[in-house]
């Protein structure tokens, strides 16, 4: 499979009479864009705003991030989700870089939603503060889940994907500024030089714990809770086969933008044929029952062994209960003779005294930490709030609270906040964006 990504680098975003891209400037017809958003009758309020790095803006509750793209030759950007099923990862897709679509709740948040600061101390905690963002801020009539801590956010997430398709379509007749090419020969058809290199498989564990449909990450529109581990070409992930769900403390979340640009996959591609033989991706899942966890780990180890993997990298979207899947998978791979490295965040509790992963094993002796979800963060007020700041403390966001007897409320009267890193939108970036480093004491 050969995927070509034709990139266009956005220098600025404006509103205008038509939607088009020219000389680094993306212009959006706001009325047309809102019409696309309101195509779903459940969207009752909506606006589109533009925010840029350095703006004195705080966004909360943030629900999703998506990169605007256009699939050359037609077809949905997210097959099985926004349109009919088709194979991704082969052909050409055009992408607007250095920008994203952010979906923000106008009034209501939930456990899985997060916060982004576009400037100041808070900007360093999330990758999306570095991007020029088209912000869809909206509300729905989904009364059945308005006061639920855990929300599916379906209408808002799908509106964001439709908006990404609409804006991306302005590229369809343009010549790209840069071309990225991703191609892997079939494993049995590779040269002896490549086959003699250490072989590596990447194991992805997207969020799939919820047994009720509608919360989990989707793969070609299929709920990942309903699958067993399977082998996938990495191009499929980079080209829209996977979309983010609506279940996970937000700093642990992998947004759809992350799947579209997965840095770890791209890094493995960079090393392919030089230092490693990149075999591809084993798409696993995260489960609830112990038997389900053990079954998935056995599937992963069998697939990796059958592929001839010498080594593996395992990345989990989440922490807590998913740690059991994560460690079980590492142990199963090590038992199969496959040297394995894990990528995860950790949860030590606010006092730092808790075990960082729920489950540990001596065979899991090579783990990269991407941050502590329990880290307390204090941030000053911002001039502009997009969304509803009160949602951080009112609606059960994973890192916020109403009142703490020691720390007080998450949202203070002057607009300043205190919260756990848990609420930073995609803040830990196990996918590979993170700028965090270890510090010696």
Q: How do residues 386-402 score in pLDDT, each as one tens digit?
A: 999 999 999 999 999 99
Q: Where are the strands (E) in 217-298, listed by range?
A: 218-219, 222-223, 230-232, 242-243, 277-283
Per-residue confidence (pLDDT) for residue 434, from 0 to 100: 81
Confidence of residue 433 (pLDDT cuts 50, 70, 90): confident
Average pLDDT over residues 347-375: 92
Q: How do residues 217-232 score in pLDDT, each as one tens digit?
A: 999 999 999 999 999 9
Lowest mean pLDDT across 64-73, 372-381, 427-436: 427-436
Per-residue confidence (pLDDT) for residue 183, from 0 to 100: 97
Residue 264 confidence (pLDDT) above 80: yes
Confidence of residue 440 (pLDDT cuts 50, 70, 90): confident
Per-residue confidence (pLDDT) for residue 352, from 0 to 100: 86
Q: How do residues 3-34 score in pLDDT, each as one tens digit?
A: 999 999 999 999 999 999 999 999 999 999 99
Q: Strands 339-346, 376-379: parallel, antiparallel or unpaired by DSSP?
A: unpaired
Average pLDDT over residues 362-381: 95
Choose between 80 and 148: higher pLDDT. 80
pLDDT above 70 covers what percent of the chain?
A: 100
Q: Chain-wide mean pLDDT for the chain?
A: 96
Peptide bond into 61 cis (omega under 30): yes
Average pLDDT over residues 293-318: 97
CA–CA distance from 198 to each of 192, 329, 432 (Å)?
12, 20, 21
Q: How do residues 119-145 score in pLDDT, each as one tens digit?
A: 999 999 999 999 999 999 999 998 878
Per-residue confidence (pLDDT) for residue 295, from 0 to 100: 95
Nearest CA-CA partner of 68 in 202, 213, 172: 172
> Is the whole-model pTM more than 0.95?
yes
Average pLDDT over residues 251-259: 97
Q: In whole angstroms, what separates CA 432 from the centre of its chain?
A: 11
Residue 438 confidence (pLDDT) above 90: no
The 222-223 sheet, strands edge to edge: 222-223, 218-219, 242-243
| Integer Cα distance of 199 and 212 in angstroms | 37
Per-residue confidence (pLDDT) for residue 147, from 0 to 100: 78
């Amino acid at each position: 499979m050969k995927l070509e990504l034709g990139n266009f680098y956005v220098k600025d975003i404006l509103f205008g009479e038509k939607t088009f891209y020219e000389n680094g400037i993306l212009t959006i017809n706001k009325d047309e864009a809102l019409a696309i958003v309101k195509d779903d009758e459940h969207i009752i309020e909506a606006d589109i705003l533009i925010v840029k790095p350095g703006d004195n803006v705080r966004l909360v509750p943030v629900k999703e991030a998506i990169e605007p793209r256009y699939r050359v030759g037609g077809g949905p950007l997210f097959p099985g989700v926004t349109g009919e099923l088709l194979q991704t990862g082969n052909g050409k897709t055009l992408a607007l870089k250095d920008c994203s679509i952010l979906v923000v709740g106008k009034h209501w948040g939930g456990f899985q939603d997060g916060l982004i600061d576009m400037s100041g101390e808070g900007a360093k905690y999330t990758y999306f503060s570095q991007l020029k963002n088209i912000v869809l801020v909206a509300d729905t009539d989904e009364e059945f889940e308005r006061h639920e801590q855990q929300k599916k956010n379906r209408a808002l997430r799908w509106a964001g994907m439709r908006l990404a398709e609409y804006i991306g379509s302005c590229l369809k007749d343009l010549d790209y500024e840069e071309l990225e090419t991703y191609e892997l020969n079939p494993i049995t058809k590779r040269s002896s030089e490549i086959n003699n290199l250490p072989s590596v498989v990447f194991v992805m564990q997207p969020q799939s714990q919820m047994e009720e449909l509608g919360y989990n990450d989707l793969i070609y529109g299929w709920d990942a809770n309903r699958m067993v581990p399977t082998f996938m070409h990495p191009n499929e992930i980079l080209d829209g086969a996977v979309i983010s769900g609506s279940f996970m403390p937000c700093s642990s979340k992998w947004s759809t933008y992350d799947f579209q640009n997965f840095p770890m996959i791209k890094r493995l591609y960079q090393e392919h044929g030089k230092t490693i033989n990149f075999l591809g991706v084993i798409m696993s899942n995260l489960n609830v029952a112990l038997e389900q966890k053990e079954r998935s780990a056995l599937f992963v180890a069998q697939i990796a062994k059958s592929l001839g993997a010498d080594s593996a990298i395992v990345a989990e979207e989440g922490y807590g209960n998913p740690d059991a899947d994560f460690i079980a998978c590492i142990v199963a791979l090590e038992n199969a003779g496959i040297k394995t490295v894990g990528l995860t965040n950790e949860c030590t509790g606010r006092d730092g005294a808790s075990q960082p992963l729920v489950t540990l094993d001596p065979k899991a002796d090579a783990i990269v930490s991407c941050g502590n979800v329990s880290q307390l963060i204090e941030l000053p007020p911002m001039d502009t709030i997009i969304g509803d700041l009160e949602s951080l403390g009112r609606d059960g966001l994973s890192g916020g609270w109403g009142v703490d007897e020691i720390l007080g409320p998450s949202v203070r009267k002057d607009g300043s906040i205190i919260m756990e890193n848990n609420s930073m939108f995609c803040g830990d970036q196990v996918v590979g964006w993170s700028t965090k480093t270890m510090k010696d004491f």
